Structure 1
Amino acid sequence: MKSVSKAALAAAFLMSAPAFIAASPAVAQKKKEEAGALKISEEFRKPAAEVQKLVEAKDWAGVKARVDALDALAKNDDEKYYAATFRLQASAATSDNPNIIRALDILIANPKTPPADLGRYHFFRGDFAYQEKKFADAAGHFAKARDLGFQPQGTNLNLRIAQAQLDGGQVVEGAAAIDAAIKAEEAAGRKAPEAWYKVVVSKFYTKGDKANAATWLARQVAAYPSPDAWRSSLMVFMEQASTKGTTLDADHRLDILRLIRAAKGLAGEADYYEYADAAQRRGLPWEVVSLVDEGRALGKITKPNPRIDPIYSQAVNRQKAEVSLASEEKRAAAGANGAVAMSTADAYLASGNNAKAIELYRLALQKGGVDTSLVNTRLGIALARSGQKAEAKAAFSGVSGSPRGDIARFWTTWLDQQP
């Protein structure tokens, strides 16, 4: 995260401090009344007035040489406020970070610090805490600055809070802060950057919170629904799921790759090979043939192709050898459970006959004895391909567990983007 520049820091503090009351006792008394009963002793007044002149002359070395002694003379909050203000000005002008932090801590705790300055002081104190990797402290100061109404130019405080929380391991809190930042952008008629979604997804995956990672990944592709975005998001999902120990079998990968295909996100030969291999492993030659034909027509699969051609040839031969699916329907209707209905529905889905696939998936659910989450996923896909959006979403809502529930949520997000 980008920190505040030295020039901006110095400018902010040099402009903020009021002039010290260094007039005669009579004038000082009048100023005292106007200022709300400032308590400045005569012992403190004279050296403070001398330091004030050094400030006005921008003699920062001179200020720094005398401010410790002035600080030692300060006995009450008013005097401590002025001493800390002088220290802050000189330290900011000379990039003396330790003394800037020291002054800020004093001023933030001092009841005499004007409320109008507190938000700014908390913001800069948070920036220093972040640089020191004290992320919880940084988030607290940024939140206080926001709550006090401070609005630094060119900086989104919700985002600064979120970054500090995320880097400090407070992933749920950081995600909530980024959510607030996204909503603020939307309320202002702007679209939040895709990077905001990506950082939350990455942090949740690193934490091992796959449910929230999937939710935010779905939000990311909902906000940025290009074919490339769908592909990259789902590829990240598969990669991160495997990294965190979630087993993605051929069925999982097949249904994810089907969604990438539906979103027109299959990018090149490697994607088509992975998809064809997954379909071949599940005994679906019809899908392998249609997929490879599509890839060749789009120029994404070269011909000849030593990796894909053997899979394609096997699929063509196997497709010719397959028994009639009509006969399998009869077996499905007579079956004691839904196993045959499900496998027949899978074949119909792979061959592009969505109407028959829908019929047989519903029969499989009716007969039972099948993985209902898997069947509902496939039923939802068949319904989605048929343009039955509401029915497809209803089917996907019946999918639970991880990663299959996550896959269903991605399909639902994609459906929401369709006419």
Structure 2
Amino acid sequence: MKSVSKAALAAAVLFAAPYAVSAPAAAQKKQKEEAPKIKVSEPFRKAAVEVEALLNAKDFQGAAGKMDALDALATNEDEKFYVANFRLQTALGIKDNVAIIRALDVLIANPKTAPDRLPQYYFVRGDLTLGQKKHAEAIPFLLKARELGYASNGTNLNLLIAQAQLDSGQLDAGVANIDAAIKGEEAAGRKAPETWYKFAVDRLYRGGKKAAASDWLGRQMAAYPSAQGWRSTLLIYMEQAREKGVAMDADLQLDLFRLMRAAKAMGGEADYIELADLAQRRGLPWEAKAVIEEGRAAGKIQATNTAANELHRSAVTREKAEGPLAAEEKGASAAANGTAAKNLGDAYLGSRNYPKAVELYRLALQKGGVDANLVNTRLGIALAMQGQKAEAKAAFQAVSAAPRGEIARFWATWVDQAPAA
């Protein structure tokens, strides 16, 4: 998030006085026919010719030494316009940013300045002010440059404005301009850099706007999926949900950690143990056992970890005590409501029998009497895990109301990124 270098700016700005005060008679006659009528006194003209000669010879220091005296002779807008142009050329030559700003302020205010020069003048004025760490002062100039249609050369103006706003404490405005910068790239058929998303997430998170940070993390993950990004997204979401008073019960946490696992975003042993514990508490020993074994195989769970070993032992014992799941299907089909079918669907999902899970979840929805948001979430998970993307997204889209709707949205984003089965 850096602005373009001031040296690059100076090189790009080819300022020159529009009418040469020392032009030959023939040229002056042509200029009089083509240019607006100007008023320059003879004393001013004489002094200006000397400065112009120094500039033509690239003696910028010599010209700088005469600028204040020339300025003192300027009594009308034409003469002040000349002085500002000469001062600008001189300041560029000696790389004096303070003098460049002084000249630009005069030119911006002067009615003789050509309108097509103003967008560039405002931009350079704002960019140089940013270089002085005067972020709030730079913003009006950059906004005016954008309003006048400034076409940046190597710099995203929306991003530069966003940086100035964020550095001056204007969080919402700054993030809105990062959003505008991203949309501008998309409109041009380009993909915005991941750092732009990360910058918005970082500033929002540090600014205490964790819900907005979570939304931006979702956007970042949609544009740049990564395991670490998914882990950060889901952990921040759970944290900000709790801070808002959302009761993150075991079922909600289970489906979030399932997504973390599906996205291969599990961190250290704590993530594996927490997911296994959630599964075990929900009566899913098959899943608890598989998660611990997966963590061990990945080298994330040490063989000496007491908590993991106890979870695994308990899961194995409970799995052996469970009867065949198929034997429960008849009862689920005959039940008056969908509770038994939902519970059996959970068991099939936990044991990775996704086709059977889909069948039982659909039966549960058909019979009714169940939490449709929870069932549709898990129907979507089962469909997603067997590669039925369109059907999975349809199930996730049927989930309404927070926080289930937000969890389903995260899963739908992952479905879009997951490779075809």
TM-score normalised per structure 1: 0.82
Which residue, 175, 183, 198 being the options, matches 2:186?
Answer: 183
Identity, % of aligned positions? 55
Matched, 1:208 2:205: no
Residue 137 (structure 1) aligns with: 140
Matched, 1:296 2:299: no
Any residues of structure 2 matched to 1:224-263 within 5 Å, and which?
Answer: 224-239=224-239, 241-242=241-242, 247-263=247-263
Any residues of structure 2 matched to 1:379-418 within 5 Å, and which?
Answer: 379-417=379-417, 418=419
Distance 2:124 2:192 in 1: 25
Distance 2:284 2:145 in 1: 56
Distance 1:312 1:247 in 2: 28
Displacement of 1:287: 0.6
Residue 17 (structure 1) aligns with: 16
Distance 1:209 1:239 in 2: 8
Residue 306 (structure 1) aligns with: 306
Q: Which consecutive unaligned segments of at least 5 residues does structure 1 have? A: none
| Amino acid aligned to 1:49 | V
| Secondary structure of the structure 2 residue equivalent to 1:317 | helix
Displacement of 1:394: 0.8
Residue 152 (structure 2) aligns with: 151
Deviates further, 299-308 or 387-396 = 299-308
Q: CA distance change for structure 1 residues 11 and 252 in 2, over 3 Å: closer, same or farther?
A: same
Residue 282 (structure 1) aligns with: 282
Distance 2:38 2:258 in 1: 74
1:338-390 deviations in Å (ceiling 9; x for gaps): 44433332222112222332233233333444332222111110111233222
8 Å contact from structure 2 (residues 228, 265) kept in 1 = yes
Q: CA distance change for structure 1 residues 3 and 386 in 2, over 3 Å: closer, same or farther?
A: closer
| Amino acid aligned to 1:105 | D
CA RMSD of aligned residues (A): 3.4
Distance 1:92 1:35 in 2: 26
| Secondary structure of the structure 1 residue equivalent to 2:266 | coil
Any residues of structure 2 matched to 1:78-89 within 5 Å, and which?
Answer: 78-89=78-89
Matched, 1:173 2:172: no
Distance 1:345 1:138 in 2: 61
| Amino acid aligned to 1:358 | V
1:396-415 deviations in Å (ceiling 9; x for gaps): 00122334322212221222
8 Å contact from structure 2 (residues 365, 375) kept in 1 = yes
| Secondary structure of the structure 2 residue equivalent to 1:16 | coil
Deviates further, 234-243 or 257-266 = 234-243
Distance 2:218 2:23 in 1: 69
Distance 2:23 2:415 in 1: 77
How many pairs does the alignment contain? 411
TM-score normalised per structure 2: 0.82
Residue 341 (structure 2) aligns with: 341
Deviates further, 381-390 or 272-281 = 272-281
Distance 1:46 1:395 in 2: 82
Q: CA distance change for structure 1 residues 175 and 397 in 2, over 3 Å: closer, same or farther?
A: farther
1:222-255 deviations in Å (ceiling 9; x for gaps): 3333444434443444455556665544333322
Q: CA distance change for structure 1 residues 201 and 359 in 2, over 3 Å: closer, same or farther?
A: same
8 Å contact from structure 1 (residues 165, 173) kept in 2 = no
Q: Which consecutive unaligned segments of at least 5 residues does structure 2 have? A: none
8 Å contact from structure 1 (residues 358, 383) kept in 2 = yes
Q: CA distance change for structure 1 residues 272 and 142 in 2, over 3 Å: closer, same or farther?
A: farther
Displacement of 1:85: 1.9
Distance 1:155 1:230 in 2: 30
Residue 361 (structure 2) aligns with: 361
| Amino acid aligned to 2:83 | A
Distance 2:47 2:95 in 1: 24
8 Å contact from structure 1 (residues 54, 62) kept in 2 = yes
| Secondary structure of the structure 1 residue equivalent to 2:345 | helix
Q: CA distance change for structure 1 residues 78 and 323 in 2, over 3 Å: closer, same or farther?
A: farther
Distance 2:126 2:163 in 1: 12
